[in-house]
């Protein structure tokens, strides 16, 4: 518990056997009530390592994609009764040392969601972000801020914390199972007028850190611009999209029947 709030860290995993233990060991467990690993049909020993660490581990028998994996993460966190949910990638690209700050920004307000920004503070390139990714990040972010009416330093970080209210309010099951899920979620948060905070986050780029190739990066770029255009049109009554629908499909929120580790 942190200030009376239950905190759950979720780690959407895919072939993270070499880094998941290092990531887990640096989580401040005095603040975190539970750590959940959802494995997206990894071909390495990710599940075995997670179970050896006695982590609650859910396993996809077939790969569902990055967005599909997050849907499993957040569903399980809500079932566990989480008040605050933090997504931490198990590839050690983002430091767990920021968890206290991100959790506190939600439990003590005024934020409903917090992003660990690699750009805020100007350290992205120093952390090894490739030049083409940095330039694409800045161009996309500037365009997205214009379309979304926001002032975020970046839309593309995978280090995020959310209040329970956010996860229950958003029709997350309407979102893609691919990488664009992250941006759809941010667009939904902005559409619902939730408060977003940011904290400067050093990020490391190395062989074991997850990344998508150039071709998928291009597809992702067009995808996130499409999401921002949808938000722009939705707000002005020029379009109606399922990801913003008040009747859109939401995550299950019933509490888990037991606290035993689960595998599915």
Give tens-digit pLDDT for 69-104.
999 999 999 999 999 999 999 999 999 999 999 999
| Averaged pLDDT, 226-252 | 97
What pLDDT is stored for residue 205 in this prediction?
Answer: 66
Q: Is residue 215 predicted with pLDDT exceeding 90?
A: no
Domains of the chain: residue spans and CATH? 7-242 (3.90.550.10)
Q: How many CA atoms lie within 13 A of 215 on its CB side?
A: 0
Q: Is residue 197 predicted with pLDDT exceeding 50?
A: yes
| Averaged pLDDT, 211-236 | 90
Question: pLDDT per residue over 124-166, tens digit each?
Answer: 777 678 888 889 999 999 999 999 999 999 999 999 999 999 9
What pLDDT is stored for residue 216 in this prediction?
Answer: 81
Encoded tokens for 149: 């009416």
| Averaged pLDDT, 241-247 | 97
Return d(Cα 43, Cα 209) in angstroms, integer.
16
Average pLDDT of the residues of the chain: 91
- How far is C-alpha 101 from the chain's CA centre? 16
| Averaged pLDDT, 196-218 | 76
What pLDDT is stored for residue 146 in this prediction?
Answer: 98
Q: Is residue 178 predicted with pLDDT exceeding 90?
A: yes
Q: Closest by alpha carbon to 220, among 146, 131, 123, 144? A: 144
pTM for the whole structure:
0.91
pLDDT band, very low/low/confident/very high, at 15 (cuts 50, 70, 90): very high
């Amino acid at each position: 518990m942190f200030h009376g709030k239950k905190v759950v860290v979720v780690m959407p995993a895919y072939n993270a056997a070499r880094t998941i233990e290092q990531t887990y060991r640096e989580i401040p467990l005095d603040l975190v009530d539970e750590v959940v690993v959802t494995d997206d049909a990894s071909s390495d020993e990710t599940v075995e390592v997670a179970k050896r660490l006695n982590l609650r581990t859910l396993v996809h028998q077939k790969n569902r994609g990055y967005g599909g994996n997050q849907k499993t993460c957040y569903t399980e966190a809500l079932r566990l009764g989480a008040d605050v949910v933090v997504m931490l990638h198990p590839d050690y690209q983002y430091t767990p040392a920021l968890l206290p700050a991100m959790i506190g920004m939600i439990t003590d307000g005024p934020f409903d969601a917090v992003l660990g920004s690699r750009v805020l503070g100007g350290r992205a390139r120093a952390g090894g972000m490739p030049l083409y990714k940095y330039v694409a990040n800045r161009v996309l972010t500037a365009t997205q801020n214009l379309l979304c009416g926001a002032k975020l330093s970046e839309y593309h970080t995978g280090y995020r914390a959310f209040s329970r209210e956010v996860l229950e309010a958003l029709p997350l099951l309407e979102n893609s199972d691919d990488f664009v899920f992250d941006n759809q979620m941010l667009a939904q948060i902005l559409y619902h007028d939730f408060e977003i905070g940011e904290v400067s986050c050093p990020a490391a780029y190395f062989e074991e850190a997850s990344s998508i190739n150039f071709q998928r990066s291009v597809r992702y770029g067009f995808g996130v611009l499409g999401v921002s255009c949808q938000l722009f049109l939705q707000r002005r009554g020029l379009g109606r999209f399922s990801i913003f629908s008040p009747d859109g499909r939401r995550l299950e929120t019933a509490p888990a029947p037991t606290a035993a580790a689960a595998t599915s």
